[in-house]
A and B are shown apart, each in its own frame.
Chain A
Amino acid sequence: MNGNEWIQTGLFLLRMLLPFLVILVAIRCFHSMKAGRRREEPVIVLENMVSKKVIPVLYWENSLGRSRSCDIVLSDMTASRDHAVLMRRESGWIVKDTESKSGTRVNGNTVPPEGKAVYPGDVITAGSTSLMLKRTSEASVKMPKRKILRAASPVGLMVWVTVIQLILLIQACFSSGEFSALPILPFCALFLIEWGLYYYSIHILDRVSFELETLGFLLSGISVMLLSGMRSELKKGEVAPDAFALIHSTMKETYVQVGALLLGVILFCFLIWFMNDLERVMKFRMAIAIGAILLFAANLVLAKESHGARNWIVIGPVSVQPSEFIKIAFIFVGASTLDRLQTARNLSGFLIFTGICLGCLFLMHDFGTACIFFVTFLVIAFMRSGSFRTLFLALSAAAFGAFLILQFRPYVLDRFKGWRHVWEYVNESQGYQQVRVLSYSASGGLFGLGIGNGKLGGGTSGNSVFAAESDLVFGMLNEELGIILSVWVVCILAAMVLYTRSEATKSRSTFYSICSCSAAAMLLFQACLNIFGSTDVLPLTGVTLPFISAGGSSMAAVWGLLAFLKACDERTYAARRVKKKKGGR
């Protein structure tokens, strides 16, 4: 074997190692998240003043009422079905009457509409039932036995992520058999962002968990290094970079991606801070909704059509896709705390907001994003109302809408003519991209041909298939890093959904639960549209693959969505308290 063959063999062996490392880190992260979460044990207890029966309070927000679905069931005919809410806020426990018939009293005084703080020893009266708030230590309640799960050390996991990215760096530097130093700079930036956030959250904010961020960096790192093997076409007057050049204009897309990651991380931190105070969030909801609609309006006025959709605003050198950020606003507007859910049962406000969003997206011809908003709407609507009737009505309305569109705009169907028939349109727009994704995906095999060696992305030649790095990025990932890694990447997104679901009752408020469930659903559904669209399982709609696709707005917004998942983890806001219990650091 000659020198190049040795290098190729070495790179191949490293690529074989990658999927194992990635799945290992992912499994350890999810395991750690599970290990670190609170067990099903009472936070505080209520003691019935008459029967002396002790009722454990399991959640941060608890509904009280006659209904069987309440967290604290009152067997009292004089109590309303959903009588009141007992919830934990930063200041302490609060009781709020949720429009009950007979009202709620604390120590004999009627609870005002804004709620009343309660302390151990206070008596809450709903209907003819009186309950005394007690600490768990004062009441004789059996604590369930703790099963100790060992959490992986956050620093260890981050080190592994860095190792994975180093392997990716080596792949990118030696792509197409020639050394190039260009990927080193994005790698360094990536390294600084990752460890910067790590230092900030663990050592400055004193948070105990870093798993979600680790997963986010794992995926974003794959994206940045994958892109760093790709060069845009040389423009007139540009000179090709030499082997040891550290910076070059053909790498612009990668630099944008790293910059977007930094913005995304900042957005992530800001949103977590913002969501800490739920009253503040609730106050700003209307403003967020109006802001989102104005942004859409600006988009419609300013945007020019490109590739069949008008979803970009170009301001000077920066181009932004507002719909990506409106996704975050959409979840803010849709989610709600338990006390508000109990009093405002109908969805009309959110329904109108959804209608406006979908309308704007249709005017922009952004069909894929409209689908994402609609599915997210279904998740939020169901989590708020629990009614299958709402789901059914929404789906019927959507079907009717689709029917109307096809009646008046039958040419829309032409775009989907190639679906499941792409091999009949190998060189036509209906199948061109999909058949190339399939062909190049298969060319990559299980472990890929190496970063920069793909023909879908074109590597250093600048000769890529249109939208390879965004809408078709799944194909690029398959071809260059192999199908196993690709499958792990999308499975991590699916695992996030399962994780948020299992976490839904553990969060500090239904607001966080609804936010995280809908954000995770949004991410997974978007991933589905991307990977199944580009591989002809579904019609191609042109949406990005979360964390992986190139695109500044997408990358930044995805980290914004990740903040919802992070906020759902009760340890995010309870970090210091936990540390104090342990006796400080």
Chain B
Amino acid sequence: MKTTGNRSLILYVLSIAFAAGLLFFLGEYILQGGQWAVQPFNRHISGGVSMTGQVLDRTGQVLSSSDENGRVYNQDASIRQATLHAVGDDAGYISSAAQYRYRSELAGYNLFTGLGSPFGNRTGSDVTLTLDAELCKTAYTAMNGKKGAVLLCNYETGEILCMVSTPTFDPANPPEDLLDNPEKYDGVYLNNALSGLYTPGSTFKIITSAAAIENIPDLESRRFQCNGSEIINGNKITCTAVHGDQSFQDALGNSCNIAFGELAVEVGEEAMMEKAQEMGFGQSYSVDGVSTAKSVYNVKGASEDALAWSGIGQYTDQVNPYHMLRIMCAIANDGTPVEPYTTKEITTSFGMTTYQGKTSYGEPLLSASTASKLKEAMRSNIRDYYGEGLFPGMQVCAKTGTGEVGEGKEPTGWIVGFSADTNTPFAFVAVVEEGGYGISSAGPVASAVMQQAVQKYGK
């Protein structure tokens, strides 16, 4: 009998396997239960009224809610189109939007009661975004039908006040041929602000400048000669004008291609790539659970002329608008970026806040001295070259860009910057596809949004 007793220990193997399996399942249940529950085939939530919670902007304006027929969006058509990529569509194709990401919260799922409710009728949580619908509307109107992206955030708190991506459509009245005509509506489901990649053009000179400031000790005393073009490695680098003899500061103000091409070559392949990486190229950020597209800077084994072009934001350079916003926040905050976010809070139907957006900071992208030098140079850009007219009384530091895309298309227009005034701590990025010069295409968009932001939220 003793041996039988000992041999029965084999049953422990089975029991342990059972326990392991059960724990594995329960772990998955706890972590993924919300996703499991809110499936289109789930007959508890079918019939279009799956979500009962509301999506609100920071002022409490309802962006979407539910009635017995399904989802109801804001009554203003422009706001509906401006906030589509933040709020979401009926079909759930925009996976970066709140209605998709928070579908289990909006549907009222919780671990405790599942999709049920102790009192019979289920009610979902409300999701409040950090966005201001009016600001989004202004940005959307200013884009004037062009494709692109606009972002504006408070660089002290990280709250994104404006996030617009175009092309867009009206979720309340989706075009009938939306699904049948994919070419016409190309990119309509993509949030360009988080997932887009654009040729940065001259806005990349901020990164080249940072690399130069940190790698060339006598940069301040250097002089740069611009004759309108220069041959590097048998290849012609062209400039927008003949800028003549310039200091570094002048070169950034003039956005002189010759000077920055030379600087990139002088800094060299390795140091350029190192600085770009440090500033977040090749990295994806998580914005309330949405992964942003990775910006690209790769000059490995590139020829000198390619390196020169890369330093002025051409070659294979690609930049994501959210990433650029993060760089602006870093320069405004002495080198340390705040992490911009869009979800302010999630509140259950009985008033309990289950999620609260928080200010957080990333690793420094620049040293404080580099940041302050860049800040001054960018301030001088507006003050001494573009003029304060675009951003009256806001002490804006900015850089424009015009990214050549080839294929006979108009270049991509950029403007990136922030207000140095701590009473109006806003950073912005505006990108206009096929917009032409950045100052004339993206400039007015940024100007309109900044003016409204300062008026509404300035201290």
Contacts and interface: CB of A to CB of B under 8 A. Distances in A.
Interface stretch (B112-120, B145-153, B212-220, B395-403): B112-120
Contacts of A4: 120
B3 A69 contact: yes
B119 A455 contact: no
Given A9-B120, A505-B2, A537-B21, A445 B115 contact: yes
Nearest to A426: B41
23 contacts: A5-B119, A13-B118, A59-B1, A63-B1, A383-B4, A383-B7, A386-B7, A440-B44, A442-B37, A443-B115, A443-B116, A444-B116, A445-B114, A446-B114, A450-B116, A479-B114, A501-B9, A501-B12, A504-B5, A527-B18, A528-B21, A531-B21, A537-B25
Main secondary structure of the interface of B (DSSP, over half): helix
Interface residues of B, number: 45
Interface of A: 1, 4-5, 8-9, 12-13, 58-63, 69-71, 338, 375, 378-379, 382-383, 386, 426-427, 435-436, 438-450, 453, 455, 479, 483, 487, 490-491, 494, 497-498, 500-501, 504-505, 510, 513-514, 517, 520-521, 524-525, 527-528, 531-532, 535, 537-538
Contacts of A517: 8, 11
B18 A8 contact: no
B107 to A, nearest CB: 10
Interface stretch (B26-34, B84-92, B94-102): B26-34
Contacts of B114: 442-446, 448-449, 479
Given A383-B4, A504-B8, A517-B11, A494 B18 contact: yes
B37 A439 contact: yes
Given A338-B4, A532-B21, A532-B25, 20 more contacts: A5-B119, A375-B14, A382-B7, A383-B4, A383-B7, A440-B42, A441-B36, A442-B114, A443-B109, A443-B116, A444-B116, A446-B112, A447-B113, A449-B114, A497-B14, A498-B11, A500-B11, A505-B4, A517-B11, A528-B17
Interface string B143-181: 000000000000000000000000000000000000000
A225 B33 CA distance: 26
A491 B25 CA distance: 14
Given A9-B118, A61-B1, A441 B17 contact: no
Contacts of B34: 442
Contacts of A448: 114, 116
A483 B37 CA distance: 14
B110 interface: yes
A10 to B, nearest CB: 10
B24 interface: yes
A455 B4 contact: no
Contacts, number: 165
A383 B10 contact: yes
A181 B25 CA distance: 36
Interface in B104-146: 109-116, 118-121
A498 B15 contact: yes
B24 to A, nearest CB: 6
Contacts of A8: 118-120
Given A61-B1, A455-B42, A505-B4, A5 B10 contact: no
B43 interface: yes
Given A338-B1, A445-B114, A483 B29 contact: yes
B39 interface: yes
Nearest to A383: B7
A479 B113 CA distance: 10
B22 interface: yes
A23 B110 CA distance: 24
A510 B8 contact: no
B8 A487 contact: no
B15 A504 contact: no
Contacts of B290: none
Given A12-B118, A497-B15, A538-B21, A445 B36 contact: no
B25 A535 contact: yes
Contacts of B24: 537
Contacts of A487: 22, 26
B115 A5 contact: no
Nearest to A454: B44
Given A383-B4, A490-B22, A439 B15 contact: no
A436 B41 contact: yes
